[in-house]
Structure 1
């Protein structure tokens, strides 16, 4: 295959570009980057090549994203895609939002918007959901637009609203937090699970709040859900406390292999299986963070701050804080205070858990030290 570029030719043989000596220039690099996606697609056909060009030039997708989308949809003219894009723009979606929808749901670019999208938009508009919120949520979670309005969306929307006695905005907030809440069958999957936690003694107001904030915890086969609930109870979690549902959510999200990997990471810091479980009971969310984050936070506390790894197990909430936005800036101030002899005793958990205002009032302002404030702002990147 030969492509002509500014009267120069570039040949492809066995997956290699052969660059003519007269074409060794920056302009060639820029032009060739537009064509490499065609080569990477295995010498794409004319139809796919058009799709790729359209996705790059019209929607601004990267060559890699355009190639990925083009493998799922094919079109030879711009007529239908143009209709869909025009429809979405007329309903207030920005170009980046449209790009997000297409990347997450490529088939939407070939749908009939008047039949597939408009009735669903009209249903959401009728619920008086904020236009800005609707655009933001649908562009980040367009999955619901795939499903039948009459057979899936409306029944689940109404069932969730009736069961929780919440308003339309709260139902849509639950969808924002987990898109499957409106696509799975509410009565056969979610309702039985809500009944199970109610049987355990969990207060109904708590259940309703958690359903909106963390709906994913309730979207599971009821038999498996009940087994997991019993496992969480055996660990000592109290159904009257919110940590009970957090532990449930952690068990649902963390596979056994992932749990084992994180446990092995913590064992490198001297934690035993018993210590891991004890820390999990204290703050179950810490096991939901990645192995990389756990390692980075442990390394900072042990190697930079000189703390014992087992002390952190007593306060696993410390692992949840951001290194860049909280731990490092505040610990830098702490080290400065210690080096200046301004403090001797301190509560590290309070220092990291308190609000920004409380931190400044307790550890910076009382000392009237401009250096402390400047150090803190520098660490925050302000």
Structure 2
């Protein structure tokens, strides 16, 4: 199915005409006549020490860094190719820091032929509509793009991801921000993983695509690694036909076994049984991604609020809500109303947490804004937390769960 989709997209939207020799040559220029002379003749580099000196003087590496990165370049007896590569990258908007980062990833890039090995990759990215800065971001995140053949590798990867994610915009977004996004082989990794999830696990490709739009790395794992994730999900009792199965795989992918076990022990210390833990994961897999420290803070708050552990296990979504953005402000509002005799407290706090911001404001804040103006101040602070991460005290693991 994935192969058929790939071929249909290739036929529909081929990039092959985009890569013309004339346009590739338009990318190639050197900053001065001295650069052109260097590209033609090169300067000699008869020993490794000279290459260390070259990396220091031409790239700005420290002597110790240059000594390390010069080792793969020891065979060079001329700086012709390094000069060409450096001039080309500067012409494409790479500053000194970006160039050093690329070279540190693979010093052999300095041995590449610009016209044959580098220019086609930059043209590929340019033809996708990426700006000069976007191209720099994409290569710094996925430098191995420079190592791949445009027609045999880059285009099939692009079309495969476009068919999975549903739009080129999402592909480009991940290309600029997701490390190693284009690293996996279509034939050896992506196709086998999709086939495994579809044929052996019974998961439709559309359901997989929903998760991949946020975390494409899930399908980029080695096939044996993906099978191990499925086995872990099976151990939790998650039915493969459940719509939460792929989300459970995604959560397990982001949590190491050591961290998973630490979460199990923490929740056991709070009074949960293993069956309650598994049940919670099946209901809200992203629960696994909350850091241990944040979990302790949330648990302490609910315990101080006299919420029983078994109730939390039965309604685990309350663990996903941000303390600073939602839970604590709403708790303070309702407590203030109770203290003034303006609310009986008959409504369960769970339902108060589930309410949308608009409904909560309409029911608990706006009717009392004249008599209790402090309520508006509480909600303004909560709103500021939502607008500005500076006020957001939750951990990185919690981002996206609120």
Partner SS, residue 330 of structure 1: helix
Identify the residue that residue 312 of structure 2 maps to in structure 1: 312
Identify the residue that residue 32 of structure 1 maps to in structure 2: none
Partner SS, residue 154 of structure 2: helix
Return the match for 2:378 from 362, 375, 379: 375
> In the TM superposition, what is the alpha-carbon distance from 1:189 to its structure 2 partner?
1.2
**Residue 224 to residue 183, structure 1, CA distance change in 2 (3 Å):** closer
CA contact (8 A) 1:144 1:153 kept: no
> In the TM superposition, what is the alpha-carbon distance from 1:373 to its structure 2 partner?
0.8
> In the TM superposition, what is the alpha-carbon distance from 1:372 to its structure 2 partner?
0.2
Partner SS, residue 244 of structure 2: helix
Identify the residue that residue 301 of structure 1 maps to in structure 2: 302
Identify the residue that residue 215 of structure 1 maps to in structure 2: 216
Alignment partner of 1:147 is 2:147: yes
**Residue 274 to residue 231, structure 1, CA distance change in 2 (3 Å):** same
Q: Which has the higher contact order (CA 8 A, sep 6+)?
A: 2
Identify the residue that residue 15 of structure 1 maps to in structure 2: none
**Residue 332 to residue 291, structure 1, CA distance change in 2 (3 Å):** same
Identify the residue that residue 274 of structure 2 maps to in structure 1: 273
**Residue 130 to residue 294, structure 1, CA distance change in 2 (3 Å):** farther
Number of aligned residue pairs = 323
**Residue 102 to residue 177, structure 1, CA distance change in 2 (3 Å):** closer
- Alpha-carbon distance between aligned partners in 1 of 2:108 and 2:350, rounded to the nearest angstrom: 49
**TM-score normalized by structure 2?**
0.63
* RMSD, aligned CA: 4.4
> In the TM superposition, what is the alpha-carbon distance from 1:176 to its structure 2 partner?
5.2
- Alpha-carbon distance between aligned partners in 1 of 2:88 and 2:145, rounded to the nearest angstrom: 14
Identify the residue that residue 204 of structure 1 maps to in structure 2: 205
> In the TM superposition, what is the alpha-carbon distance from 1:171 to its structure 2 partner?
2.5
Identify the residue that residue 345 of structure 1 maps to in structure 2: 346
CA contact (8 A) 1:117 1:145 kept: no
Identify the residue that residue 327 of structure 2 maps to in structure 1: 327
- Alpha-carbon distance between aligned partners in 2 of 1:103 and 1:342, rounded to the nearest angstrom: 67
- Alpha-carbon distance between aligned partners in 2 of 1:101 and 1:285, rounded to the nearest angstrom: 34
- Alpha-carbon distance between aligned partners in 1 of 2:301 and 2:99, rounded to the nearest angstrom: 39
The runs of 5 or more residues in structure 1 that have no matched partner are: 1-44, 60-65
CA contact (8 A) 2:158 2:171 kept: yes
The runs of 5 or more residues in structure 2 that have no matched partner are: 1-48, 72-80, 389-402
**TM-score normalized by structure 1?**
0.66
Identify the residue that residue 359 of structure 1 maps to in structure 2: 360
Partner SS, residue 213 of structure 2: helix
> In the TM superposition, what is the alpha-carbon distance from 1:311 to its structure 2 partner?
2.3
Residues 103-252 of structure 1 mapped to structure 2, 5 A cutoff: 105=105, 114=114, 118-129=119-130, 141-145=141-145, 147-150=147-150, 152-161=153-162, 163-164=163-164, 166-175=166-175, 178-199=178-199, 200-233=201-234, 235-252=236-253
